[in-house]
Structure 1
């Protein structure tokens, strides 16, 4: 929607957010950037952004870099003061006690904040249990303690994940009993003296979950549940978040985590074999649907206190499968190839783990060795084999989610949407069942080409010519490869005498 059109109309949800003060965590992350832009357009009075120094940059320097470099901040170039006036940096760290916030900032938050949106999380699936607990569980607890003291609180909303309960086949929109007391786990982390032994014990604790991220998010939900009788709370559980659908711009992302990584890997000819069940539902959801869904649920929860305001933001209403996604992507990747690709798109899939591991040798390892050999011969540093180590680590993490299927219920999410006016459904689009998936998947490819690969559209013809040359080279290599395999097989059979037997059978057949 056009920005001027958005600002010209009033609606119940826009009126709810207008002039509010929002305390936001995770604002420098992918979803956080979209939350900031949406809040600015909603006319909030102020965003209290929790941020810490990182890589030698102060929180303010990080914010300025983000605002000036990301295209989702649609008005920054023409009106940077609007953003700087609306955003107040709260120097702190979600993994620390009391978020490491100063007394003055803490007092300001408690006296001023109306909405607490907790979107910060340690999303690294291979993170240690200790660090995941400190960020995802203890951090959530610390923020809730502050929200409970807030004098003008309207709502606290927590951004969880649909896979927090992935140890279940059917996931309802409700709080589930925790398998472990989150506060006891926090205590264990704070009192442990042997981190190695703790991590060994941790593997036993999380055995029903695929990684520390999903496990700690499930316990963070339990922390939130314990505050439901104290303050108005809401939880949104998005599934696999990918590029934006349309709001504020189509196809935008700033990372190649999860689904985006698979698309880029396939499009660049890097990922050529993947362990996935093409018949299973592809539970991907556009990032802007998550943003608008979050704001809708928070708005609803503020006026429906006492209800179990927890929703699944998933694609449950549409039979989108991984096979459908693969076919659509292959179609578009041939039309809009990446100039920076390693090779042509030859994306193969299998449901068998052992077959996928075996084929990696031929599709990934051997080509990587040959590429690195060519680089060495040209006096360049070998890098392709190292790249594939990262690709394999990444694909191993995703394997659990692409070879399992869940029944996500979303009746409550539909209930929230049913309370929205037509204007709000237009201003805050979050009806996932209305997505045109073929169009979205095309935008996804285009967005990744533009925002991740940093490729402009004026080099598309050059990319197509390069892609066609590589297609020809690929066919020649295949012919040579199959000839060599046939030659080796023939000689092996000849050595063991089977060729003489075959010739005898053939002679008898001819008679």
Structure 2
């Protein structure tokens, strides 16, 4: 999944319904999911049914229990990914999109509404003090999309922050130069015979740095980012297009500045003429000096 930008996992608000107050965190399960899966591989259905009540504990059913396990797996396996976990409550019909009341299944309260409307369901056990935690399906969709967007942006901001810290750390080394003695390296090169010098080349004086940097950049694209090289021609065209746009914008900007500040201002014109005259005199002096040397 080299092109994966964000991984969004849709869970449920009831994943930790055994708690009265639920924070926006992933609570560690009492049993490691991988070990549980390995154990279930050799168990028969009867044994699984026997241990299920002990596994789920104070959760009402296996659906809620496995939802909690899934969140933990996503958190552990997606530590290096942009991950968003969305926890909708009871998903109901749409609020606005594609139109009010849209629904296409019997899940959630839909089946209850239909059964009650048809006269099949007459009574059910409930509490007058309990809240009906319904959420429209289009709100869930919008939340999932927004969470995916924010997870990608947020991870990028973290990357930029780390990059900035790295730049601050490297500033000392990128702002200074040193001269190292290489007598031992030169001695070592002289000790190698011509064949060994080709096999174990350590003479960086033969290195063409422009070509090396170009290969370096191509290597990061191919081996680090795992991107295809077939898109290079289009990328170069796009880069040239952006460069031409920048040059054109700068040219237009200079013309506008000339038009507004120089062509309409006597003081600006005087300063401009002074600068041009000074440059002309400098170039004339430089040419005269060059002629005198010959």
TM-score w.r.t. the length of structure 1 is 0.30
Instruction: For residue 275 of structure 1, give the secondary structure of its aligned residue in structure 2.
Output: coil
Look up the match of 1:290.
140
How far the C-alpha of 1:203 sits from its partner, in A, is: 2.2
Q: 1:14-46 CA deviation, whole Å, 9 max, x = no partner?
A: xxxxxxxxxxxxxxxxxxxxxxxxxxxxxxxxx
Look up the match of 1:195.
45
Q: Distance in 2 between matches of 1:172 and 1:240?
A: 18
Aligned: 1:276 with 2:126: yes
How far the C-alpha of 1:306 sits from its partner, in A, is: 8.9
Look up the match of 2:66.
216
Aligned: 1:237 with 2:87: yes
CA contact (8 A) 1:238 1:290 kept: yes
How far the C-alpha of 1:281 sits from its partner, in A, is: 1.3
Look up the match of 1:176.
27
Instruction: For residue 264 of structure 1, give the secondary structure of its aligned residue in structure 2.
Output: helix
Instruction: For residue 86 of structure 2, give the secondary structure of its aligned residue in structure 1.
Output: strand
How far the C-alpha of 1:228 sits from its partner, in A, is: 4.2
Q: Distance in 2 between matches of 1:185 and 1:280?
A: 34
Aligned: 1:225 with 2:113: no
Instruction: For residue 280 of structure 1, give the secondary structure of its aligned residue in structure 2.
Output: coil
Within 5 Å, give how 1:252-401 maps onto structure 2.
252-305=102-155
Within 5 Å, give how 1:75-114 maps onto structure 2.
none
CA contact (8 A) 1:227 1:233 kept: no
Look up the match of 1:478.
none
Q: 1:64-101 CA deviation, whole Å, 9 max, x = no partner?
A: xxxxxxxxxxxxxxxxxxxxxxxxxxxxxxxxxxxxxx
Q: 1:167-198 CA deviation, whole Å, 9 max, x = no partner?
A: 00011111112122111111112222x22112
Q: Distance in 1 between matches of 2:41 and 2:5?
A: 32
Look up the match of 2:7.
156
Q: Distance in 2 between matches of 1:187 and 1:225?
A: 19
Instruction: For residue 7 of structure 2, give the secondary structure of its aligned residue in structure 1.
Output: strand
Instruction: For residue 151 of structure 1, give the secondary structure of its aligned residue in structure 2.
Output: coil
How far the C-alpha of 1:234 sits from its partner, in A, is: 0.7
Q: Distance in 2 between matches of 1:217 and 1:306?
A: 28
Q: Distance in 2 between matches of 1:178 and 1:207?
A: 11
Residues 167 and 306 (structure 1), Cα distance of their counterparts in 2 relative to 1, 3 Å cut: farther
Q: Distance in 2 between matches of 1:254 and 1:200?
A: 36
TM-score w.r.t. the length of structure 2 is 0.51
CA contact (8 A) 1:242 1:285 kept: yes
Instruction: For residue 297 of structure 1, give the secondary structure of its aligned residue in structure 2.
Output: helix
Q: 1:190-247 CA deviation, whole Å, 9 max, x = no partner?
A: 222x221122112221122111100000000000111343111110000000111111
Q: Distance in 2 between matches of 1:214 and 1:206?
A: 9
Q: Which has the higher contact order (CA 8 A, sep 6+)?
A: 2
CA contact (8 A) 1:232 1:306 kept: no
Higher helix content, 1 or 2? 2
Choose the corresponding residue for 2:18, options 167, 170, 178: 167
Look up the match of 1:374.
none
Q: Distance in 1 between matches of 2:28 and 2:96?
A: 37
CA contact (8 A) 1:156 1:231 kept: yes
Instruction: For residue 164 of structure 1, give the secondary structure of its aligned residue in structure 2.
Output: coil
Q: 1:418-460 CA deviation, whole Å, 9 max, x = no partner?
A: xxxxxxxxxxxxxxxxxxxxxxxxxxxxxxxxxxxxxxxxxxx
Q: Unmatched 5+ residue regions in structure 1?
A: 1-149, 308-511
Q: Distance in 1 between matches of 2:138 and 2:26?
A: 25
- The count of corresponding residues between Structure 1 and Structure 2 is 157
Residues 160 and 184 (structure 1), Cα distance of their counterparts in 2 relative to 1, 3 Å cut: same
- Could you say what the CA RMSD is over the residues aligned between the two structures, in angstroms? 1.6
CA contact (8 A) 1:161 1:237 kept: yes
Look up the match of 1:205.
55
Name segments (4+ residues, structure 1) moved above 6 Å.
Answer: none
